[in-house]
């Protein structure tokens, strides 16, 4: 379904699990988990079916960022991190969600970090998964060379330095396989993604080039889990360590999943999903 979040902006939203469940003589409200997908330019489909496993303890909300996937197209001027971060609040207002648990994967983690800075009291918990606070090209260069040799390093540097349709095509063809340590459980999962590469190139070539999300993290007012794999080339482990260090010490948890790449639950589902469940229920 498409939900109007104000100003005629409609986001595609899907819901899994009940929000209210019978509990003795009353109805108990479960927490709401909002899943924010990666990209930019991709959609929410990578969360399915895996995150349905949390429907027993939370109502799971999937949505496509403004201009992405099945959400309505929007003008280029709205493709900004501030807008996407504020959309979390707009969506919650439209759906009547109070104190959500917000999970951002990769680019969704960029959005979640800006959301923390702009709306620090809005969430009950936040998960920053396989994400970075900045471009961090030097770290990307090292990891891609470690995992894929000089060719992968050079293609990664070419794309992230100068995002164009050509550098993207060369990068994705040779470097995508290095993102993860395990083959996908469903080989057709990537085929289901509704991709908008115009948004990807716009953000990667613009706002991301000078991105620095670390200062805003000090504003956090809720527990924040930083979840990462030690074999992630595009959002390397040291980026997650920087994020955890920038958060208030009493609120930050850093979980490193050994042997996992970009998206820990994809490569090490038993360990990553068990730890996520523990954090959601804490």
Neighbours of 153 (CB within 10 A): 20
pTM of the model: 0.98
- What does the alpha-carbon distance between residue 127 and residue 253 come to, in Å, rounded to a whole number? 9
Report the SS3 class of residue 231: coil
Q: In this predicted structure, what is the pLDDT of residue 68?
A: 98
Which residue in 217, 281, 280 sits closest to 252, CA to CA? 217
Q: In this predicted structure, what is the pLDDT of residue 145?
A: 98
Estimate the share of the chain in helix, then strand, then coil, as percent rounded to the nearest 5.
45, 20, 35
Q: In this predicted structure, what is the pLDDT of residue 228?
A: 98
Q: Which residue has the tokens 């201009």?
A: 67
- What does the alpha-carbon distance between residue 118 and residue 279 come to, in Å, rounded to a whole number? 23
Q: In this predicted structure, what is the pLDDT of residue 102?
A: 99
Say if strands 26-29 and 20-23 run parallel, antiparallel, or are unpaired.
antiparallel
Q: In this predicted structure, what is the pLDDT of residue 238?
A: 98
Whether 16 and 52 have beta carbons less than 8 Å apart is answered as: yes
Q: Residue 143: CB partners within 8 Å, gap ≥ 6?
A: 232, 233, 234, 236
Q: Residue 191: CB partners within 8 Å, gap ≥ 6?
A: none
3-state secondary structure 72-141: CCCCHHHCCHHHHHHHHHHHHHHHCCCCCEEEEECHHHHHHHHHHHHCCCCCCEEEEECCCCECCHHHHH
Q: In this predicted structure, what is the pLDDT of residue 8?
A: 95
The tokens describing 96, both together, are: 């009547």
Type and span of the H or E element at 204: helix 197-205
The tokens describing 81, both together, are: 């991190």
Q: In this predicted structure, what is the pLDDT of residue 229?
A: 98
Q: In this predicted structure, what is the pLDDT of residue 72?
A: 97
Which residue in 224, 225, 228 sits closest to 267, CA to CA? 228
pLDDT by 10-residue block (mean), the chain, 282 residues: 97 97 96 98 97 98 98 98 98 98 98 98 98 98 98 98 98 97 92 96 98 98 98 98 98 98 97 97 94
- What does the alpha-carbon distance between residue 264 and residue 261 come to, in Å, rounded to a whole number? 6
Say if strands 59-63 and 32-36 run parallel, antiparallel, or are unpaired.
parallel
Q: In this predicted structure, what is the pLDDT of residue 246?
A: 98
DSSP 185: S
Q: In this predicted structure, what is the pLDDT of residue 268?
A: 97
């Amino acid at each position: 379904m498409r939900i109007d979040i104000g100003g005629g902006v409609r986001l595609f939203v899907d819901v899994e699990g009940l929000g209210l469940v019978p509990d003795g003589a009353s109805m108990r409200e479960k927490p709401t988990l909002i899943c924010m997908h990666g990209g930019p330019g991709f959609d929410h489909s990578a969360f399915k079916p895996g995150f349905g496993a949390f429907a027993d303890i939370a109502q799971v909300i999937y949505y496509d960022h403004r201009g992405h996937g099945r959400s309505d197209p929007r003008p280029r001027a709205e493709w900004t991190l501030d807008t996407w971060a504020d959309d979390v609040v707009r969506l919650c207002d439209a759906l009547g969600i109070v104190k959500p648990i917000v999970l951002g994967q990769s680019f969704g983690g960029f959005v979640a970090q800006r959301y923390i800075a702009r709306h620090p009291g809005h969430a009950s918990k936040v998960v920053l998964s396989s994400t970075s606070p900045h471009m961090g090209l030097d770290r990307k260069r090292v990891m891609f060379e470690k995992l894929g040799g000089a060719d992968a390093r050079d293609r990664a540097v070419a794309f992230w330095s100068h995002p164009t349709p050509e550098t993207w095509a060369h990068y994705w063809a040779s470097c995508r396989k290095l993102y993860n340590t395990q083959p996908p459980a469903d080989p057709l999962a990537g085929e289901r993604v509704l991709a908008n590469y115009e948004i990807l190139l716009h953000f990667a070539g613009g706002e991301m080039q000078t991105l620095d999300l670390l200062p805003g993290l000090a504003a956090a007012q809720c527990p924040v889990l930083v979840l990462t794999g030690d074999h992630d080339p595009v959002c390397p482990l040291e980026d997650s360590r920087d994020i955890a260090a920038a958060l208030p010490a009493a609120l930050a948890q850093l979980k490193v999943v050994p042997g996992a790449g970009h998206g820990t639950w994809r490569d090490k589902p038993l360990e990553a999903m068990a730890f996520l469940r523990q954090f959601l229920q804490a």
